[in-house]
Structure 1
């Protein structure tokens, strides 16, 4: 089987991390995955060694990709232009739409024009996202929930001798690391992170924050200006560009320090960094919004706080870094939850079943 995934943005975020993992697993099962992106926002290093990647906005080139590669199925991820491309290419094979955008108005824009291609299925990464999509899609096309999967042999607790200890970032021996991982934009809500860091700075001297990512983010400059203006450069260390392949070592350093990850997001359809951290035995602190309570179990794999609540977020961080015995329980439970719920074999095999189902139906038409 040969499938094409179309998404407009080649980012280092969760959508591409999820597809990277799927493509590796699919290949082992005899399925070739190719990718078509319109814009590279720093994610090419994640995908280029995994599968063929087309990066273009040229309509003639896109038409040739769609007509000459004989795809058994095409998966469109939040890209409304793709529906016109498929119609013009007269593509007759099965089409799956992945609806990943958590904001309902943006999702509505991303779905504009999808009726003309008659998708066989919608796929979403959480029960929360299924509820969001159900508001916009009132028709018999089934909506299937498939969580993002993770290679738990790659994302795992590392032994001390395995950790890239001499590579940046290097943890201070007397600090607990609290890491924010991801883009710097309105939805990921870095402004709340800086408010939390301001409060922690007033109260503690044994915690430092790492910001991992943001090199190509739309609000990179705004973040940098605020970070410096608030005099937080001593407690908040920023590493704009960390290769995806290095992330298990980042999580290992966080765990070694007795720290955690922190999310301040306003909405998530899934959240790959949560399962990455948990797979590496790192507890997660995150707001109790959208899909997050499906992933992070409060009190078992981390702690949740009320949205936009600075004091609540700080207190949950303290609960993790101050209680070492409880830390080990959280760490163990986090790893076990990922193995049970989010392993790539479990999640990707369900995707393969759906691909086989829709291609069989396509053959029967």
Structure 2
């Protein structure tokens, strides 16, 4: 279960609340735990189908106005019916996982549009495949239900120390090793912090071994709590915020940065690497503190500022919370998204009528 599942559920909730004339189904080729996220309200809208022939039958018989593929190029091979209107969503920031784009753009079954979650990522995709297919930006967002669950959760911190949180896969892009380097320096300067690392459940054993060796080498095992997977994630953010700690992202690259947005929505202040996606989210540092990627001293200095300066801490929390819902309003984003779908539908109808006349 990852960011895409959360995004899909968020959309379904807003559509169900405000757009009763629209229905949507979600198709997964495999279930690695994501389906349970939809079990409360949308279980009937979620399908797990592995067989390509059954997938093709499912789509054709569904007579959907659009089929939206989220980084799933196989669907373009399974369904070659020209009546199917594809939209391609690109979310993966792993460049090797985007190699499929060139074949999609040059293939017979092209999407009529591409959507991405940030302006920064739009520039990246444009550089990789050009602008033959129009690219639109639709940010991810936080739903009211996310905040409501956060507010309803009670957490009891096991320690009176400040929690420094990090969430993500244990891989080079999320850059867990830099967080450990930051932790080492921070732990040498102060004894009132605990490092809370969440993620890595699906990592190879060799990666997990490297992770624990690094913690041991940096003498951080006693002051680190590792949780491979946790739900609801709001409890993690509340634990951090309640302890007067902060959330840290050391990522080398993001298409959006959902954990940073979630943290901001939970009034948990953030320190993140100064990659373009985070600059966009934090309004160049007004809603979260940035540090130069690789600069451990700078990262530690920013963390210390949030831990020790209450005025700065409150300013960052208030700025981030206010700007988050001004810039990423769920109703507006979904309204714009649905307007795009209507416009694309009209264009397809006009194009089809022209072809019929010819």
Structures share fold, TM-score greater than 0.5: yes
State the Cα deviation string for residues 113-172 of structure 1 (Å, max 9, x = none).
34322222110111111111111222432111111111145327966xx44224xxx341
Distance in 2 separating the partners of 1:41 and 1:199 = 37
Compute the displacement of 1:53 (Å): 2.3
Give yes or no for the alignment of 1:47 onto 2:38: yes
Q: Is the contact between residue 101 and residue 129 of structure 2 (CA under 8 Å) also seen in structure 1?
A: no
In the alignment, which residue of structure 2 is the partner of 1:172?
Answer: 159
What is the aligned residue count? 344
Secondary structure of the 2:191 match is: coil
Aligned to 1:98: 89
SS of 1:15's equivalent in the other structure is helix
Residues 15-38 of structure 1 deviation map (CA, whole Å, 9 limit, x = unaligned): 222222012112231222222223
Question: How many angstroms apart in 1 are the aligned matches of 2:217 and 2:150?
Answer: 37
Residue 270 of structure 2 is matched in structure 1 by 284
Cross-structure match for 2:281: 295
Q: Distance in 1 between matches of 2:62 and 2:212?
A: 44
CA distance in 2: counterparts of 1:224 and 1:317, whole angstroms: 23
CA distance in 2, matches of 1:71, 1:224: 48
Question: What displacement does 1:325 show?
Answer: 1.9
The equivalences for 1:249-260 within 5 A come to 249-260=235-246
- Work out whether residues 155 and 238 of structure 2, in 8 Å CA contact, stay in contact via their aligned partners in 1: no
* 1:182-193 correspondence runs (5 A): 182-193=168-179
Shift of 1:298: 4.4
Measured in 2, the distance between the counterparts of 1:65 and 1:295 equals 38
Partner of 1:184, secondary structure, is coil
Whole-Å separation in 2 of the counterparts to 1:220 and 1:146? 35
The 5 Å alignment of 1:233-252 reads 233-243=221-231, 246-252=232-238
Contact 1:78 1:111 in 2 (8 A): no
Q: d(CA) in 1 for partners of 2:12 and 2:261?
A: 18
Are 1:132 and 2:124 an aligned pair? yes
Unpaired segments ≥5 residues, structure 1: 1-10
Distance 1:226 1:325 in 2: 35
Q: What is residue 117 of structure 1 aligned with on the other side?
A: 109
8 Å contact kept, 2:53–2:78: no
What corresponds to 2:147 in structure 1? 155
Shift of 1:281: 1.3
Q: Given the alignment, which residue of 196, 202, 211 partners 1:210?
A: 196
For structure 2, the 5+ residue unaligned runs are 353-358
Determine if contact 1:215/1:240 at 8 Å carries over to the other structure: yes
Cα root mean square deviation, aligned: 2.2
Q: 1:45 to 1:225 in 2, by over 3 A?
A: farther
CA contact (8 A) 2:164 2:194 kept: yes
Q: Is the 8 A contact 1:269 1:290 kept in 2?
A: no
- Give the number of the structure whose residues are more often helix, by fraction: 2
- Aligned pair partner of 2:13 in 8, 24, 30: 24
CA distance in 2, matches of 1:226, 1:157: 35
1:213 Cα deviation (Å)?
2.3
Contact 1:157 1:279 in 2 (8 A): no
1:332 deviates by 0.8
**Largest Rg, 1 or 2:** 2
Say whether 1:34 aligns with 2:22.
no
- What is the SS of the residue equivalent to 1:39? coil
Q: CA deviation at 1:57?
A: 3.0
- Which of 199, 211, 227 in structure 1 is aligned with 2:215? 227
